[in-house]
Amino acid sequence: MSHVASLEIQSNLPTDAAKEVHDLALLYRQETESSRKLAPAIVECLLESKLLRIGLPKFLGGWEDNPVEALKVYELLASAEASVAWIVWNNHLSCTFGRYLNEVSMKEVYNNPSHVYANSARPEGIAKIVSGGYIVSGRWTLVSGCELADWFVLRCLVTSEETPKNLHQGANLRLFFIPKKGVKIIDTWDVGGLNGTGSHDVAIEGIFVKEAYAVNFDSAVAIDNAYSRLPIGCINSAGCAAMALGVLKAAMEDLIQMCLDRTTPGTNPDLRDRANVQAAIAKSKTLLASKRLQLHSSVAELWEEAQNENTYTDEQLANVWAASCAAASDARAMVSEIYAVAGTASLYKKYKIERAHRDIHAILQHGIVQPHWMNQAAMAYVGLTPNGAMFRK
């Protein structure tokens, strides 16, 4: 099944391509869930639409424009199937890590439009310095999309005979770009939420990685454009929040549809007659619109500064971190409320609410939207200096 023709007649906006993926995600929702990875038809459409390459420079098939468009993509896809949005978002991170490669290495890693990427920023590997590069070994957990990936970006502690072999403050940490032939997948992903992401463990044993394929967050940026000047940390947090809003949208719309479908003649009150259901619907609509607006406007402000080559203030960065954490946590609370007021219907997998409740809690486990980032944002607001490692990166 090919989707090329229909994609070609659309505009170049990623959200236009995402609309087709959205419909496929709904169609193959059960296959994605049962196989614990995206259905092949969805992967094919994602590759043809270039949605897995949004974070790359334009000459490699990337978007290189307003990042709010990426947030809209994540929200739209998550409203159909959160696991699809998660893989797109995760590939965006893998692609933005590529900004630290030199131009030759960047082209080597990202030149094939049929490639999929996976990553782990957890420093769960060891890279021993050798002539010309490193010998990498380790086992990384929660590597989303690893079964689909052609390249992996994995973080390691760099060691030598003279340096410690354990994590410590100021440890030398690097990201290593490694092709799939050197990576073993270990089936560990037996979960409820985000089941379709296939976030298994991966292991590497004694693979040589040349120096040019090892970078850190202080490495030079090879391609200087506005998109590559965006901070990875808070933009990644905003993407996670956008997915949470998409899941909320799915749950809200499902509850509304239940109210429209489950009407009976006579005097017995229906689902839509319940005051708590009515309140949940009104509340969720308002929350979704307000949190989306705050999230988009804070990211748009960074985009304007990036285009003008300005340095971001801590308060501008704090606005994105705070908007992201608030949107994600409030979306989770609202989905839980919807789950409660829908009654026993929430238990059935035929309704989106059941999956939404699982997925939203899984999304909020990610470290990029944890409460301490709200504390970091508050530090900027009260004149302190935020000290989170990724606050400005």
Model confidence over 116-158: pLDDT tens digits? 999 999 999 999 999 999 999 999 999 999 999 999 999 999 9
Cα–Cα distances (Å) from 243 to 51, 175, 363, in that order, read: 15, 25, 8
Position 7 pLDDT exceeds 80? no
The mean per-residue pLDDT over the stretch 1-27 comes to 73
Residue 239 pLDDT > 50, yes or no?
yes
Nearest-angstrom CA–CA distance, 214 and 231: 19
Please give the average per-residue pLDDT across 80-88, as a whole number: 98
pLDDT (tens digit, 9 = 90+) per residue, 47-75? 999 999 999 999 999 999 999 999 999 99
Within 10 angstroms of residue 115's Cβ, the number of other Cβ atoms is 18
pLDDT tens digits along 244-293? 999 999 999 999 999 999 888 877 789 999 999 999 999 999 999 999 99
What is the pLDDT at residue 265? 81
Residue 140 · residue 120 · CB < 8 Å: yes
pLDDT of residue 5 exceeding 60, the answer is no
pLDDT at 393 over 60: yes
pLDDT at 11 over 70: no
**pTM above 0.85?**
yes
**194 neighbors 363 (Cβ within 8 angstroms):** yes
Q: Please report the pLDDT score of residue 161 as a whole number.
A: 73
Q: Which residue has the higher pLDDT, 168 or 274?
A: 274
Give the per-residue pLDDT at 164. 67
pLDDT reading at 373 higher than 80:
yes
pLDDT exceeds cutoff 50 at 6 = no
- pLDDT score for 259: 95
% of the chain with per-residue pLDDT over 90: 91
pLDDT of res. 92:
98
Examine the pLDDT at 8 and tell me if it is beyond 50. no
Kindly list the structural domains of the chain, giving each domain's residue range(s) and its CATH number in brackets, ordered by start: 4-110 (1.10.540.10), 117-215 (2.40.110.10), 230-381 (1.20.140.10)
